[in-house]
Structure 1
Amino acid sequence: MMMSVRSWLTRGIYFLILTTSIFYNAVEGEHHQVTGSSQAILARAGEDVTLPCRIEPSRRAARLTVEWSRADLEPVYVHVRQQGHEASHSVNPLYRRRTALFVRELPQGNISLMLSGARLSDEGSFKCYVPNLHSSTLVQLRVGLVSQPVIFITGPKQDDDDGFALTCDSGCWYPRPEVSWLDSGGNLLPSADPSVTGGGPGDCYTVRRNVTVRAGAGRVTCRVHLPHINHTVETHHVIPFPDHNSTQPTSVGVMTVIRIRSIVIRNVIIGSVLASVCCIGGCIALLAYCLLRKKAVPDSKTCKYAFFKSYLFVLKLFH
């Protein structure tokens, strides 16, 4: 009887161990892997960007070791989390206090990296690696520098009083952008070949492109596109219809009138100053003559009166 009880007890223990082992192996045998993004992540310089990475199927990652790195750096680590704590001492100085994980989402297996203030030097390949799972993935980051283009009216169209010459200045971009002109319907306008400056080591590109349009063209658009990060910036300008019956000059005419008036005023001021100097010199000479020839000129009041009238004339010129 005792042998029978022991036999059944032994068999029960073996069955429990076998069942537990099978369940444990089933759980641990579930294949987890790290996944990222099949497409490059695009960012503008200065903005925050998220590099996606997560564990699939989802599992808790709060206590796992997570390593973000770049092979072209030394040290290679961008962000390291070990046993629930940040290991900032092993991170490259370029990325200290610039990276973070989404801690509240770690229990759902989200181990994406938040990068603050993207820089042109951040462009490259980032590796997301979980040593406990022996799984990793690469995330490609592209960074571009953009700015707001500006439109200038550079003058009237040659041999055409109703036309305008416009210039679009892209500002500072990197890499080199594409600049084009569009009419009010979104169609490309024929324009001159762009001129490019900059582009040296550590320097951005500035692209300028000219176009000539007739008065009344309506809204024209300068479009600057950066294929590198698929980003576009536009600036608009409205060209009004000419009003030949209006006494108000066009914008170009206003500039011309202002220049002519400025030249006239300048010449008047110069003439007034020269006349004043001549009058003052004449007054001084007349007074000196009267004082030196007092005996020869019995009526000295005449000299004084002449000096006084000259002085009043000078005051009127300055007022």
Structure 2
Amino acid sequence: MKIIYMTLLIISGITDSRSEQYNVVGPTDPVLAVAGEDVILPCYIKPNSSAVDMRVEWYRLDLQDSVVHLYQDHKDTNTDQIQSYRGRTQLFKQELQKGNTSLKLSTVQLSDEGRYKCFIQSESWYDDITVNVTVEAVGTPPLITIDGFDHSGGVHLHCEIKGWYPEPELVWLDREGVTLKSEATDTHRDTDGFRVKHTITVYNSDSKYHCRVKLRHHMLETEIITSSKMLNSLRLFVIWTSVAVVFSVIAVILIAAFIHKHRDLNREKMKNQADLNREKMKNQEDLNREKMKNQAEHSRLLQRQKIIVPYVSTHFRKHAVTVTLNPDSAHPRLTVSDDGKQVRDGNTRSTEVNDREKEQSDTFDEYLAVLGKEGFSSGCFYFEVQVTGQTRWDLGVTRESIDRKGYYYLKPEMGYWTVKRYGIYWACDSQHVSLSLRKKPQRVGVFVDYEEGLVSFYDVEDRSHIYSFTGQSFTETLYPFVGLGYYRNVNPAPLIICNDF
């Protein structure tokens, strides 16, 4: 009887242990972070179970003192935390009950790049995942300066950028867009990123030259126009400066010879005269340096940044279509207006619906999103969405067969062609692209050319291009897509389908 009782206890313990097994999941692709911004490192328990009573530890795999954030015994315990992470890490405490152990890292630094481990431990089980984080920093625009002439009359042009990471590509281009070979290159890495300087010599008196810096999906460009009038002014300045220097040298030589010849006659007098001449030379050199400084400032005023943006054409609005939001596809938290033109977070219905009902329905169960009722499988179509007041949104189109369940990345491979605002603006391409917009869009236009495989986004009020997906291949019906992100969106401002054009 004792043997049978012990056997039953062992079997019961094994069963309890297996019942508590879980998997820790996260992104397979590296998480892209922008220096100075905030980033979320995703980590979840599957199947969904509470992490409130568990130990949640984030640490670096590539550092000796590795603790980034530690949660245990229902509180944060960061006494051994890496000094550079103090005050910059945070778990979503209200989400621990749902198994969300993602880490928010504020004010990203270049040193934050690396491999992070998310380790979750209960009383009888543990699991972990590795999250790779890459950091980008967009530094200063290219600065072009003029540094005199060579003996053949060519003009030396310097182009310099600072604070970029990782090392960007810096190139000179002529007015036709042809790359020019740099004669000298200087690259330096410091704590703020990379400083790169390229030098060329040009001989055309009336032309235009571009200096362009590129880093993955970021590009800034500066141009300088060289005119005959400007170059002649510079040449005259250099000539007169050279003449002044020659005369100064001659004067020094004559004075030195005079002092040498007459030093026995009047040593003290000649010494005073030499001091006076040296003071004159110093004043002349100071004047020359001030002139050069003024000339360099003048050349900087000649340069301007070139922003090439296509404008929203009335051609797009010729393809405007009626879009009505489909409440049957909406996440249970969302409220869709009766006319199907507005959506906001704040639905009072419970999100804790039966798993079988969630699997059988066509709604989004994790992502706060809704589709349009109308689908399009040929030709061109265009619609506009007002985003005024809302700080977190996603807009675009999706294919009919998308998976609406669980957590996933919005990208073309998953059937999504979208742009979003989560603090900063992103294009959700195969690799997320951060967007440097001149102003915050209030109304976004979405244009699709099905046969050409084109999806373009525009700031309607600013009449500027935001981003385009090109060379896509569409084989299914496409539906308008409107979203408010994961979790909860406490901003009450609605997203509105516009028809007033």
TM-score category by the smaller chain? 0.5 to 0.7
Following superposition, the deviation at residue 114 of structure 1 comes to 1.6
Structure 2 residue 142 is matched with structure 1 residue 152: no
Alpha-carbon separation, structure 2, partners of 1:155 and 1:261: 13
Tell me: CA distance 1:238–1:71, structure 2 relative to 1, closer, same or farther (3 Å).
closer
Cα pair 1:150 1:235 within 8 Å, conserved: no
Structure 2 residue aligned with 1:180, among 171, 174, 189?
A: 171
Superposed CA deviations along residues 85-142 of structure 1, whole A, max 9, x for unmatched, are: 1112242333221211123333333211122233333332111011124110011223
Query: Do the aligned residues in 1 keep the contact of 2:30 with 2:132 (CA within 8 Å)?
Result: yes
User: Which of 202, 213, 218 is the equivalent residue of 1:223?
Assistant: 213
Call closer, same or farther: CA 1:188–1:112 in 2, change over 3 Å.
farther
Is there any run of 5+ residues in structure 1 with no aligned partner, and where?
1-20, 243-248, 268-319
Change (3 A) 1:188 1:100: farther
Structure showing greater radius of gyration is: 1
Over the residues paired in the alignment, what is the CA RMSD in angstroms? 3.9
The percent identity for this pair of structures is 32
Distance in 1, Cα, partners of 2:114 & 2:74: 27
In structure 1, the partner of 2:199 is: 210
How far the C-alpha of 1:194 sits from its partner, in A, is 4.8
Answering whether residue 128 of structure 2 is matched by residue 136 of structure 1, we say yes
CA distances 1:264-292 after superposition (whole Å, capped 9, x unpaired): 99x9xxxxxxxxxxxxxxxxxxxxxxxxx
Alpha-carbon displacement from aligned partner over 1:45-93 (angstroms, at most 9, x marks no partner): 4333222212223333334321101244454321011243111224233
Aligned to 1:253: 232
Cα distance change on mapping 1:260 and 1:181 into 2, 3 Å: closer
Q: Is the 8 A contact 2:43 2:102 kept in 1?
A: yes
Which of the numbers 103, 118, 138 marks the counterpart of 1:113?
A: 103
Give TM-score, length-normalised by structure 2: 0.38
For 1:220, the aligned partner's letter is: H
Deviations 1:192-232 (A, max 9, x none): 255124348x685432223456455456242243xxxx353
| Structure 2 CA distance for partners of 1:209 and 1:78, relative to 1, 3 Å | same
Deviation at 1:173, TM superposition (A): 4.0
Q: Which amino acid aligns with 1:254?
A: S
Distance of 1:254 and 1:104 partners within structure 2: 68
Q: Which has more helix, going by share of residues?
A: 1
Output the CA distance in 2 between the equivalents of 1:257 and 1:221: 26
**Secondary structure, in 3 states, of the residue corresponding to 2:232?**
helix
CA distance in 2, matches of 1:123, 1:35: 20
Return the offset for 1:30.
7.7
Question: 1:234 aligned to 220, 239, 259, which one?
Answer: 220
TM-score norm. by structure 1 comes to 0.57
Name the structure, 1 or 2, with higher relative contact order (CA <8 Å, separation 6+): 1
* Residues 153/80 of structure 1: CA separation in 2 closer, same or farther (3 Å cut): same
1:180 counterpart letter in structure 2:
V
- Quote how far apart the aligned CAs of 1:169 are: 0.9
Residue pairs, 1:1-319, within 5 angstroms = 29=19, 32-132=22-122, 133-148=125-140, 149-155=142-148, 165-183=156-174, 187-199=177-189, 205-211=194-200, 214=204, 217-218=207-208, 220-225=210-215, 230=216, 232-239=218-225, 250-256=229-235
Cα 1:223–1:203 change in 2 (3 A) is closer
Q: Which residue of 2 aligns with 1:308?
A: none
Relative to its length, the structure with more strand (as a share) is 2
Q: CA deviation at 1:261?
A: 8.2
Distance 1:65 1:114 in 2: 17
> Where does structure 2 lack aligned partners over 5 or more consecutive residues?
1-11, 248-501
State how many pairs are aligned: 228
| Equivalent residues of 1:59, 1:107 under 8 A apart | yes
Residue identity opposite 1:251 in structure 2? M
Secondary structure (helix, strand or coil) at the match of 2:145 reads strand
Q: CA offset at residue 157 of structure 1? A: 8.4
